[in-house]
Structure 1
Amino acid sequence: MPEQPRLVGRSSSHFTRLARLFAEELGVAYAFAPVHDLASRDPADYAGNPALKLPVLVLPEGPVFGAENICRALQARASRPQRIVWTEQLPDLRARNAQELVWLGMNAQVQLVFGMQVARLPGENVYFAKAADGFRNALAWLDANLEAVLHALPPHDLSLLEASLFCLLEHMEFRDTLPVAPYRHLAAFAATWRERPAAARTAYAFDVAAAD
């Protein structure tokens, strides 16, 4: 039997959840190894990722760094074919802009959570204030354009855009940064995606280290 992939990440991370969501949707079994100390500066704690970032998928042939790379690696290991829309298959400029704004939103969420909730830095700092403003602007654009973007997607079982957007929206409420409710189309989209079995199996949680 081939060695099972090992996913190194955090159950509270939206980038990790994106990888887990793809694994569940594609039916790829994996072992999950949570990282408890995000303050660590040792690459060994991040499965050898020199950038000290998560998630990392550890395969027999080596590590895979980053959520999108991991999602593509998982597709290659899936036993049943699925129609997946990747970034390069998005049909038009608006859809590609939507994916870019989702990535920017996910990174802004990391910036706000790590800076303000983990590092306890002041939120009024222009570094965080500008990030929050840009985040709100991106969400407003996504809310206004979501229906047209989704309608234009080619037939598919799964898309990186939808999965990453769902992970972002759920993470906003999990980490209590910005509310989703004011964005009517985004809130409806998240509610629909929440019904997928893969979403239920990958719900956000805080990893608790085992007692000695």
Structure 2
Amino acid sequence: MKPPLRITGRSSSHFTRLVRVFAQELGVTCEFAPVYDLASLDARDYAGNPALKLPVLSIGTATVFGAENICRVLAEAAPQPRRIVWPEDVRDLRARNAQELVWHAMQAQVQLAFGMQVAKLPADSVYFVKAAAGLRNALAWLDQRLSAVIDALPPRDLSVLEVSLFCLLEHLAFRVTVPLAPYAHLAAFAHEFGQRASAQSTTYRFDVPPGG
């Protein structure tokens, strides 16, 4: 018997949502274990990840750290093979740059949301000002080139680029750090991708502890 799979993460996290969307798109059943306290310094609260980061995939007693890493393991566990476009499968330089900017923007969103909204640090710090400027620049670049980038992707059932971009864009609306309104092409993409069952069943929310 195969050991059960469990995703440890947060329903409010775009990195967690990335792997949950992948799991549903691939038909891989996973339990979900929410982490309620992001201020915890105990690795046990992060399913043993020593970096104190999420998400984590548990396979019996084994663990897998990191969103992209988890997506690859989920693909290996899929009951049916699917055509997945991984970052290394992309040959178009604009699409390669797009993935790099999506990863950057997701990290910047964590930096801004955790730093200002969770830790309540001053928003006028150059640390956050520069992060917000870089995030806006990345979104503008992606918005201007989105059609060409999507067209350049190989035939597929799923791509890391599209799922990660969708999770980023919806997170910007969920935890507002920079407005998404100026980026019409990105907003249209998020709306279209959001019609998928995997997107609608993983909508962002804040996990509430039992009895909370």
What is the TM-score when the length of structure 1 is the normalising length?
0.98
Matches within 5 A, 1:129-148: 129-148=129-148
1:203 alignment partner in structure 2 = 203
CA contact (8 A) 2:132 2:177 kept: no
Q: Distance in 2 between matches of 1:154 and 1:92?
A: 10
Give the deviation of 1:211 after TM superposition: 1.5
1:186 alignment partner in structure 2 = 186
- Alignment gaps of 5+ in structure 2: none
Kindly report structure 1 stretches of 4+ aligned residues shifted beyond 4 Å.
none
2:43 alignment partner in structure 1 = 43
CA contact (8 A) 2:84 2:159 kept: yes
1:57 alignment partner in structure 2 = 57
- Alignment gaps of 5+ in structure 1: none
Matches within 5 A, 1:77-88: 77-88=77-88
Q: Distance in 2 between matches of 1:197 and 1:35?
A: 24
1:70 alignment partner in structure 2 = 70
- Give CA deviations for 1:18-46 in whole Å, capped at 9, x if unaligned: 00000010010010000000000011111
CA contact (8 A) 2:8 2:35 kept: yes
Give the deviation of 1:168 after TM superposition: 0.1
Q: Distance in 1 between matches of 2:3 and 2:133?
A: 45
Q: Distance in 2 between matches of 1:113 and 1:95?
A: 27
Give the deviation of 1:8 after TM superposition: 0.3
- Give CA deviations for 1:29-68 in whole Å, capped at 9, x if unaligned: 0100000000000111111101000000001261000000
Q: Which amino acid aligns with 2:128?
A: F
Give the deviation of 1:178 after TM superposition: 1.9
Q: Distance in 2 between matches of 1:62 and 1:109?
A: 29
- Give CA deviations for 1:102-161 in whole Å, capped at 9, x if unaligned: 000000000000000000001000000000000000000000111101011111010000
Q: Distance in 1 between matches of 2:209 and 2:142?
A: 37
Give the deviation of 1:2 after TM superposition: 1.9
Q: Distance in 2 between matches of 1:151 and 1:196?
A: 19
Matches within 5 A, 1:96-135: 96-135=96-135
Q: Secondary structure at the match of 1:32?
A: strand
Q: Secondary structure at the match of 1:29?
A: coil
Moved more, 136-145 or 177-186: 177-186
Q: Secondary structure at the match of 2:28?
A: coil
What is the TM-score when the length of structure 2 is the normalising length?
0.98
Percentage of pairs with the same residue: 66
Matches within 5 A, 1:149-164: 149-164=149-164
1:177 alignment partner in structure 2 = 177
1:94 alignment partner in structure 2 = 94
Q: CA RMSD in A?
A: 1.0
